[in-house]
Structure 1
Amino acid sequence: MYIYYRIADELEEGIKQGTYREGKKLPSVRELCAVYRCNKSTAIQALKELENRKLAYVVPRSGHYVLKRSFQSAREPRGEYDFATAAPDWNAFPYAEFQHCIRKAMDFYQRDLFGYGTQRGLPALLKAAKQQLESHQVFAKEERLIVTSGVQEALFILISMPFPNGKETILVEQPGYHLVVEYLNRFGRKALGIERTAHGIDLARLEELFRQGDIKFFCTMPRFHNPLGTSYSKQEKLAILKLAHKYDVYIVEDDFLADFERDAKADPIYSYDAHNRVVYLKSYSKIMFPGLRIGVAVLPPTLMPVFQEYRTYIHIDSSMISQGALEIYIQSGMFEHHRDKIQTPYLRRAQALNDAVGVMGATLPDLVRLAGPTGCMHTHIELDRRVNVDRLIEGAERRGVVVETANINYLADFPRRKIVKLNVSMVEAERIGEGIGRLAEVLSTLR
């Protein structure tokens, strides 16, 4: 047996016996070298082995800590193969590390916790977010950033507030983000839809809608669209921006999965904006955890005063503890470490999903139209008009496969295509092929 295995086994036994308690620090590399009379690389391997066993986590420049094992999933899978649930895999998130940051934030930001918040968000977090956004090619002055309670809050404020162009109608992709669509449907906001398919949008139709003269802003997800999973090309982004400038329309760019992008050349629309037309929205829910409820909006100068006013009507500021903990998490290097660590398993799932759906399309070309490869954890299939979608969903559920249509992603009066959403947040990479295979078997019986 390798020495590092023996060290790891003894540390694991110490964890089980309570010698090293949950959340407490493990012996350092130096201490392990002294106790086991081993070299530094052996001690490092032993601690790395505990990480692989999901017994410990590392805090950069601090050491290794015992991972809490008492967490329970807030949402269990709805079936043996749950392709419907879009919430991120709770096991992949750094609860213990972030708990450490919360404790530090309560100590470090004591004075801020006893105030009524800030005008735009915790200054230290705004500074950290500004530096982080630059890695996504979003270069903006710090005074143009504002912290929100998630991207959803920012979207609702933008829908409600007046814009300098004096227009009132919201243009949304169809299908689109279901909470925005439901809000527009429920409260009767002026809204129009434009069809988005696996091949993008019709730019001629977009110009026609812009030219009508009442589009306040175009709400779009250029990258890893929800629910389609596809992304715009650079040419499409430039064309959309050009039309927005020509017809005095703003663009609200929801870049909620930017942290999962591996293509260094895939820049957001914001990076090409020379006329202050784009509102850029950054989410931390998918890369961290939804309960954090922290997002960052980058606003044109003309929109900032009114946005701040409307934000104050909702609440004075987002949670200062959450903001402080996130700032510490980013500045300590833990965010970057976690992002790099979590990308790999999600990309494996994305590849497994693309492969499995590709096999389905090749087997059932008369019933299924595919989106083509996507680079993230969700995609979609479009069914032939002859397929009874309700029967497909019922039959799949009997086989332990849970899927959903995209009906909730459409405006009430917009024509709906027969789209089935596929998300692998709750399915391990090794099981995706079998789950999609079962779905294909059910689909083949519905010819």
Structure 2
Amino acid sequence: MKEYTKVMNEIERQIEDGVFRGGQKLPSIRQLSERYSCSKSTIIRAYSELEKRHLVYSIPQSGYYVVLKKVDSEQTAGHSVIDFSSAAPDPELFPYLDFQHCLNKAIDMYRSHLFTYGTPQGLPSLLNVLCKHLANHQVFTSPEHIMITSGVQQALAILTTMPFPSGKQTVLLEQPSYHLMIQLMECYNIPVKGITRSESGIDLNELEQLFRTGDIKMFYTIPRFHNPLGTSYSEKTKKAIGELAKRYDVYIVEDDYLSDMETDTKSDPIYAYDSSHVIYLKSYSKILFPGLRVGVAVLPPALRETFSVHKRLSDIDSSMLSQAALEIYIQNGMFERRKQKIKTTYHNRMLKLNHALDTFNDTEDIHHARIRSGVHTHLLLPETLHVPTLLKRLSKQRIILKEIEPSYLPSFEKQQSMLKLSITKVAMDQIEEGISTLFTEINKMRRLS
């Protein structure tokens, strides 16, 4: 038996025996390394395997914790971590048994295709299913326009590095924006510019000027449930962005990663207003589970061949097993049932969060955005409030939040201090306690200053 397996089995046994309970922080990597007289890499591997089994989860710069099971919730209330920082889906909502059934059925149905190289574009039968599925989001397309990627992250990496027909080089990002997109720009040394996005939207005059004069090849935007703001563009703004893109030959990369969380039936993507200059991206990680690694890119004709070449060279093809299982999952109605369950769960948590913010935010200089759907919102903080100190004080109270510094380009001047509040890992009965403690700590800091 390998060394990491011994450690993993011992931790799992202690969890089963109740030595470590749901929500409890586990010993650090250094502590376990000393206890078992092994390397830190061995402990990291053991924790990684336990994460895959959904027995533990990690919080950056905090440590590893036992997953809080429903059967433990009443016993551990008041003692577990309240994590407002995580963007990952709630493991309690993962469709374990349903998807296991789909994986088994996929192997039976597609056994001659799953264990050989597939096609860079994707499983043909899934492409046909996705055309009908995307139409529910007002994205009307045909199979030849769709490319399956290993998550949306792969699509972003290809788009930022591949040449565009216009010959332009610069990528335009909303500020703030998705933090891994910012890291991608830095990693590949891509020319990049930023444009301010706030709760009220974006300055369309500034956007037009940048499109006209800024050598912009593509504008990466999250119109719906923006990460990290949580806000959405109005339909008027989305139409205007599509019109400007067509006028100035700039491609819009529309990251619609939370489209399944939408509760407004009249809300359409930018793609619905102009498909000639919009690259539509959809993720299945948030509605199912991150390990699925299936993303969808709907590409304009002018970009398809170049994108396909880069995709083929990066991974030959995306997981055929995941694609086949997803096809079955959608076809048999499981996806729609799952979507309604998770949308209702997150919607109720957001309503609870809004109520808690309205109740406990009695300050005049801290603004909270009211977000009806999605999975996160944000707080605007005064410059006089030292955010790192606040985060440390909250951490001691077992409440985890993140500042959004990584969501800004290093060269972009941040307008105001901000905190992101996510509800994906926070139980309903934890939300009020967490927000109450947050503002209690803020008021304590003010009295001490």
1:76 deviates by 5.2
| 2:406 paired residue number | 408
| 2:54 paired residue number | 72
Matched, 1:424 2:406: no
Aligned residues: 375
Matched, 1:256 2:263: no
CA distance, structure 2, for counterparts of residue 326 and residue 373 of structure 1? 30
2:87 alignment partner AA: A
The 3-state SS of whatever aligns with 1:441 is helix
Q: Tell me if the contact between 2:347 and 2:372 (Cα under 8 Å) persists in the aligned partners.
A: no
| 2:321 paired residue number | 321
1:375 deviates by 1.2
1:348 alignment partner AA: N
CA distance, structure 2, for counterparts of residue 174 and residue 406 of structure 1? 11
1:71 deviates by 5.0
1:370 alignment partner, one of 368, 371, 386: 368
| 1:152 paired residue number | 153
The 3-state SS of whatever aligns with 1:445 is helix
For 1:36-55, list aligned pairs within 5 A: none
For 1:179-328, list aligned pairs within 5 A: 179-273=180-274, 276-328=276-328
| 2:338 paired residue number | 338
Q: Tell me if the contact between 1:229 and 1:378 (Cα under 8 Å) persists in the aligned partners.
A: yes
The 3-state SS of whatever aligns with 1:216 is strand
2:266 alignment partner AA: K
Deviation readout 1:370-404 (Å, 9 max, x if unpaired): 22234122111010111111111111112221100
Q: Tell me if the contact between 2:120 and 2:318 (Cα under 8 Å) persists in the aligned partners.
A: no
TM-score (norm 2): 0.81
CA distance, structure 2, for counterparts of residue 209 and residue 446 of structure 1? 41
1:185 deviates by 2.1
Deviation readout 1:113-142 (Å, 9 max, x if unpaired): 233111410011111111100000000111
Deviation readout 1:146-167 (Å, 9 max, x if unpaired): 1000001001100010111110
CA distance, structure 2, for counterparts of residue 407 and residue 211 of structure 1? 29
Deviation readout 1:262-301 (Å, 9 max, x if unpaired): 1100000000005x00000010000000000001110001
1:247 deviates by 1.4
CA distance, structure 2, for counterparts of residue 186 and residue 303 of structure 1? 23
CA distance, structure 2, for counterparts of residue 216 and residue 231 of structure 1? 23
Q: Tell me if the contact between 1:222 and 1:268 (Cα under 8 Å) persists in the aligned partners.
A: yes
1:334 deviates by 0.7
Q: Tell me if the contact between 2:285 and 2:293 (Cα under 8 Å) persists in the aligned partners.
A: yes
Matched, 1:384 2:382: yes
1:74 deviates by 4.3
| Structure 2 unaligned blocks of 5 or more | 1-51, 63-79
2:373 alignment partner AA: G
| 2:440 paired residue number | 441
1:213 deviates by 4.2
CA distance, structure 2, for counterparts of residue 345 and residue 213 of structure 1? 43
| 2:121 paired residue number | 120
CA distance, structure 1, for counterparts of residue 371 and residue 316 of structure 2? 43
Q: Tell me if the contact between 2:381 and 2:418 (Cα under 8 Å) persists in the aligned partners.
A: yes
CA distance, structure 2, for counterparts of residue 71 and residue 86 of structure 1? 19
1:393 alignment partner, one of 391, 394, 404: 391
Q: Tell me if the contact between 1:181 and 1:410 (Cα under 8 Å) persists in the aligned partners.
A: yes
CA distance, structure 1, for counterparts of residue 294 and residue 156 of structure 2? 13
1:240 deviates by 1.1
Q: Tell me if the contact between 1:292 and 1:322 (Cα under 8 Å) persists in the aligned partners.
A: yes
CA distance, structure 2, for counterparts of residue 398 and residue 213 of structure 1? 46
1:244 deviates by 1.2
Q: Tell me if the contact between 1:224 and 1:374 (Cα under 8 Å) persists in the aligned partners.
A: no
The 3-state SS of whatever aligns with 1:167 is coil
1:206 deviates by 0.9
Distance 1:360 1:201, change over 3 A: farther
Q: Tell me if the contact between 1:213 and 1:247 (Cα under 8 Å) persists in the aligned partners.
A: no
Deviation readout 1:39-68 (Å, 9 max, x if unpaired): xxxxxxxxxxxxxxxxxxxxxxxxxxxxxx
Q: Tell me if the contact between 1:185 and 1:412 (Cα under 8 Å) persists in the aligned partners.
A: no
CA distance, structure 2, for counterparts of residue 72 and residue 385 of structure 1? 39
The 3-state SS of whatever aligns with 2:57 is coil
CA distance, structure 2, for counterparts of residue 305 and residue 327 of structure 1? 25
Distance 1:76 1:191, change over 3 A: closer
CA distance, structure 2, for counterparts of residue 85 and residue 288 of structure 1? 16
2:342 alignment partner AA: I
CA distance, structure 2, for counterparts of residue 227 and residue 72 of structure 1? 25
The 3-state SS of whatever aligns with 1:219 is strand
CA distance, structure 1, for counterparts of residue 445 and residue 233 of structure 2? 33
TM-score (norm 1): 0.82
Q: Tell me if the contact between 2:149 and 2:297 (Cα under 8 Å) persists in the aligned partners.
A: yes
